Structure 1
């Protein structure tokens, strides 16, 4: 009798309906899941980026203290900021004879400049018919700006970087060595570089140190 019931049209219709309902439930669940994932993806894309963070480390490279959002220059550990300002001066005034490397130095410098500081660097590059512009003279001149010291000055967010500029000109036939001093004012802001601490130089001056 049981076998006959299983072979009956009524049983077959009920079994088909049950399978169809299961398929519809699975289909609707898949659509719902796709919708939730789509909404989450859109929300993630339009979420404002988090503030940049900095981790202070000890001499062994181990994290010290807590991770801080950078909302002011004072929030950046002094040693880290001075080291990065020294790197900025190196990039701004060094000249590399490899064009790709020189382009990288210029791009890194421009990414840190705003306001008066950007105009000051542009004026320096254009002075004496482009004599100081690394984009014009890299083929026959190279220079190394070696930071000697970085100091925090009195006043809000002002720094000083002393550096030695060694220039090899005229296809390395003329070498000059001079010491320079740069004074910088630093601000914080949003950076498109996720690895950046979000600081920028908005004012700067530099001059050769005469002994």
Structure 2
């Protein structure tokens, strides 16, 4: 996707994980965010990290770190806006950003392809991932052309991703379960607790063992 920049959203508070930086917790042979970067990198022209605070903690990944510019601490919408603004300011011809969470290690390898297939030639189309009857607001395709509208919405107090996305006719793109070793898992299973992170690592071992 030559006209899409990937943005890994890593600004969560990690309260249920006991605090600290969830993005840097161990997953497989690396960190959760390293896994997200690698999965998204193969689907877009380049990847940036959206996070607040000291950017140096992500230096090992060699990616630009983009902080929220408005509505700091306002959740994914602020991160989406930060990604849009970075893409518009730093890369010519970028029509979309594609976002992913940092703590959802099994998201689809054809995520962005699925989004693009659904919106077709609509250069202001919005797409959001879905699975098992649920939407996953951190995973979406967002037109950079909507940055001003999003900034106005945030300034007016908007915080719900789905409300803003649906105002722009967002389409939901459904993805199937992943299976390994006789076990099926939601591709958007996310690790919010130590127990869920342990389960994710266990499923990864099954996945690697069956490949």
More strand by share: 1
Compute the TM-score of the two structures, normalised by the length of structure 1. Answer: 0.23
TM-score if structure 2 supplies the norm length?
0.23
Structure number, greater radius of gyration: 1
**Structure that is richer in helix per residue:** 1
